[in-house]
Structure 1
């Protein structure tokens, strides 16, 4: 009942009416040079900005975000990765590499740092090949997994054909789809640690006697080459990409004031990818805010909680998960619309999922969780027992026997009354017959007497004359 009350409070309480105008104002965003871009809030999935976000382009090395993410999900970081001839061949054309040799062995952790920091193509291939074999297949098994995961994340403009993003006519995606993939990856703790690392050292291996230093190529996180002017203190990670057919691509993560933003730039002319990313981050951090769902909904729930007796003394039996909505600075929580979400939550304790919308924009979602509130179960046991007893009439065996005796007496009495009634009728009939006989006898006797008298009179008269 308390869960029902919580859901009712969230989804059925009066809401502000929606209409076009200042109440539903959504900042349009700044002008940028890059042809394709998207800005998403990582934890809510809110799309803050789009520019040609569904145009299909070659992603180049930002492909490695999905490669790293899927490898983390399917492997342990201390697993041994052996570089095959096919893996090493991926760096033979002078593309991004850390110069690994055939048969070289590294841990999966070291391999993935090579993927994300130095964008090493042989490391991406080796990680994918290792994971594919672990799943019972090979390198192509991993590519199939990439496309499956992209589809499950909601990507509709994507097809992957390799694990590193090297040019391929059958390898494409969009800024929007890369946003979905990048947000999902950043929500993983291990990925977040790797992408936010500025430098890393691979110790000597069976093929290299010296350390191999790695440097993050993302110029907003770590000064790289001549792009130190783009360093942004809010940047927490990301991935660069470039090929002659893809142009510059860039994924950037940044956190500030409770917001976690992901910016994807595609098909850009360098250094526009950095300049435009900084412009977008500055704009959306300045014009949007995060409002805690738990704080706002729990306050509303407290004001609208029905009288549940002793249950009110122990708090709500369902609570909202720790999450937030993303709204323009001039909006408040009362202006959001709530609706039941049809998506399945990853949280096994979720009772339901609620989606929040501001106008046409999805600005957050939250799971309704079991609160863990405890009550004195003896209260419910006692009251349940009392309620049950109040609804049941208990009859002692002796009373039941008395009832049976009484019923038997009544039935016997009715039978006797009917028998007596019948006997009375018979007796009355006999008495009537006897009475009639007595009457007839008296009449007959009287008639005889009269006849004798007449006879006597006749006899006397005859003698007199």
Structure 2
């Protein structure tokens, strides 16, 4: 079990390292905010979930209360624990005060009672679909041994993921005291969650049937109230894959959403929005803008000179022109700049035949590596030796021709002289 947990964590870490590394690289474009958010204090972080590239950034490094987005980390730790999701957990008496505190804070619950036995998969679904706070507390007790120890695990995992502005104080986010993060940190946590197939499936579920338990004799259905995934809502977007929302008075309206279209995935975090209407409208506008503004486009063709290499032993050509052996395309914004790095010799000696591979070019789009392509010549570059030899041969041929002509003329002239002498003798 321990090895499985380490493997899961390493897999998630690899998928989130690109996000952390890209944020630290200079020169990569963060695009102008295409919309006016409901308030200037909102935190917005839109990123390409396939590459980790930051797309939009507004207040994304500022600590804010994150409400039920806390449950992303709770779900992640459960999934990484290696515990059997179909296994059962009995709600312990030690959570009595925790449940009272949730009730006093008017927190959403799945109606768990002390002594009730429920499957972990049911807790996970209730926590992610209807944001059940009691389910989060039971998961915390089950995975951590106690809620307090589980919170310690949450903060340790956040550090492992590269979070620098995150501090969790509870497993559900209902209690605001000190429970903070940043939009950029939550993107890292969300990326780790998205790497888990079970999480993506559960978080992308609109409704779920909770089975009967030892204290609940009938099954019942829970349903998400999220407009982005409700096909009857004006805010519905078919490309949205999963959503987790949150709200407290201090945190405002918060959301993490992932959307995928044509093989490209974006993650979005919004913190501190004032109303649900604004929140869902901003999600729609930002995702619509991303899918409209970024596309696969040709970057390199085979007919444009990419670079040259100095040519030696050729007086007529100072350099060899090099072309891409194959076209290269990439996914990006229309304003993204294409750059190259080359692996080439300092010079090359003639003769160089047409179609010769001289080196390679690595293609970058806005600083992100797209691919590597061979560089080839489109014509032959002939050496001075061959040119000089050809000229020498031609000269020799010309001289021989002239010599032959002179010889022929001389012989012809000699023959005419002999004939003339013979005629004189006869006279």
Cα 1:68–1:329 change in 2 (3 A) is same
Q: Does the Cα contact within 8 Å between 1:58 and 1:167 map onto a contact in 2?
A: no
* 2:150 is equivalent to residue 142 of structure 1: yes
Aligned partners of 1:262, 1:147: CA distance in 2, in Å? 22
Bigger share in helix:
1
Aligned partners of 2:196, 2:330: CA distance in 1, in Å? 20
Aligned partners of 1:272, 1:126: CA distance in 2, in Å? 33
Aligned partners of 2:279, 2:369: CA distance in 1, in Å? 27
- Equivalent positions of 1:62-77 (< 5 A) are 62-74=69-81, 75-77=83-85
Instruction: Tell me which of 86, 99, 109 is aligned to 1:88.
Output: 99
Instruction: Tell me which of 159, 162, 181 is aligned to 2:167.
Output: 159
Larger Rg: 1
1:191-234: per-residue Cα shift (whole Å, max 9, x none)?
A: 0111111110011100101112111232101269xxx2211111
* 2:163 is equivalent to residue 112 of structure 1: no
Displacement after TM superposition at 1:358 (Å):
4.6
* 2:237 is equivalent to residue 232 of structure 1: yes
TM-score by length of 1: 0.57
Displacement after TM superposition at 1:148 (Å):
1.2
Instruction: Tell me which of 161, 167, 189 is aligned to 2:197.
Output: 189
- Equivalent positions of 1:275-314 (< 5 A) are 275-289=281-295
Q: Does the Cα contact within 8 Å between 1:113 and 1:200 map onto a contact in 2?
A: yes
Displacement after TM superposition at 1:29 (Å):
3.4
TM-score by length of 2: 0.62
Task: Specify every segment of 5 or more residues in structure 1 that has no aligned partner in the other structure, as ranges.
Answer: 1-18, 297-323, 339-354, 367-465
Aligned partners of 1:168, 1:83: CA distance in 2, in Å? 24
Task: Specify every segment of 5 or more residues in structure 2 that has no aligned partner in the other structure, as ranges.
Answer: 1-25, 302-328, 343-361, 372-427
Cα 1:336–1:144 change in 2 (3 A) is farther
Cα 1:25–1:178 change in 2 (3 A) is closer
1:154-192: per-residue Cα shift (whole Å, max 9, x none)?
A: 111110111100133221011111111111111111101
Q: Does the Cα contact within 8 Å between 1:77 and 1:109 map onto a contact in 2?
A: yes
Name the SS for the 1:208 alignment partner.
Answer: coil
Task: Let me know the Cα RMSD of the aligned residues.
Answer: 3.0
Q: Does the Cα contact within 8 Å between 2:30 and 2:57 map onto a contact in 1?
A: no
Aligned partners of 1:96, 1:26: CA distance in 2, in Å? 37
Q: Does the Cα contact within 8 Å between 1:90 and 1:121 map onto a contact in 2?
A: no
Aligned partners of 1:168, 1:204: CA distance in 2, in Å? 33
Cα 1:284–1:54 change in 2 (3 A) is same
Residue of structure 1 equivalent to 2:43: 36
Aligned partners of 1:139, 1:39: CA distance in 2, in Å? 32
Q: Does the Cα contact within 8 Å between 1:45 and 1:364 map onto a contact in 2?
A: no
Greater CA deviation, 188-197 or 32-41?
32-41
Q: Does the Cα contact within 8 Å between 1:60 and 1:166 map onto a contact in 2?
A: yes
1:349-377: per-residue Cα shift (whole Å, max 9, x none)?
A: xxxxxx99654x6x4799xxxxxxxxxxx
Displacement after TM superposition at 1:32 (Å):
2.9
Name the SS for the 1:230 alignment partner.
Answer: coil
Instruction: Tell me which of 131, 140, 155 is aligned to 1:128.
Output: 140
Which structure has the higher relative contact order (CA within 8 Å, separation 6+)? 1
Displacement after TM superposition at 1:249 (Å):
0.4
Aligned partners of 1:364, 1:123: CA distance in 2, in Å? 43
Displacement after TM superposition at 1:278 (Å):
0.8
Cα 1:80–1:56 change in 2 (3 A) is same
Q: Does the Cα contact within 8 Å between 1:90 and 1:125 map onto a contact in 2?
A: no
Aligned partners of 2:120, 2:252: CA distance in 1, in Å? 30
Aligned partners of 1:161, 1:82: CA distance in 2, in Å? 24
Aligned partners of 2:199, 2:103: CA distance in 1, in Å? 27
Instruction: Tell me which of 247, 252, 256 is aligned to 1:251.
Output: 256
